[in-house]
Amino acid sequence: MEREGLEAKALDDPMSTMVTRLQSSMKDSNAHGLLSGLSVILALSSECGNLLNSASFGRPIATADKEKQWFQLGMEEAFYLHHILNCLEISNGDKQLVTDHDLWQYMTKRKKHIP
């Protein structure tokens, strides 16, 4: 797509609107992820997955699952969706929900540099 086309698309669908739609969609679907090393893995509906992808969050994971789209989020992305947008619940390996504080502690212990 040419630069003019990209600029028109950005003006037509600003990132703030996209993130608001993503937040609403994830809240409505009770989005839930699982801590896995320095990532959070989650399965989403097609609508949520498309919004997550459009907003450039995470990396899609190829699976045979036709009903859900799977994503791998970096720790910073997961923290933003969990703490700031309050639209993602996260569980640890014991399937216990992680608090904002616990997620921050987990992240800062494992990453030397947090942007």
Indicate which CATH number applies to the domain containing 40. 3.40.1170.20
Confidence category of residue 2, pLDDT binned at 50, 70, 90: low
Indicate whether 64 belongs to any domain. Answer: yes
Cα 41 to Cα 70: distance, rounded to the nearest angstrom: 7
Contact 91, 36 (CB under 8 A): no
Indicate whether 115 belongs to any domain. Answer: no
Model pLDDT for residues 62-98, shown as the tens digit of each residue: 998 888 999 999 999 999 999 999 999 999 988 899 9
Residue 115's pLDDT is: 58
Cα distances (Å, whole numbers) of residue 100 to 68, 69, 71, 80, 92 = 26, 25, 21, 10, 12
Q: How many domains does the chain fold into?
A: 1
Q: Which alpha helices (DSSP H) does 29-99 contain, by range? A: 46-54, 75-79
Range(s) of the domain holding residue 38: 3-110
pTM of the model: 0.82
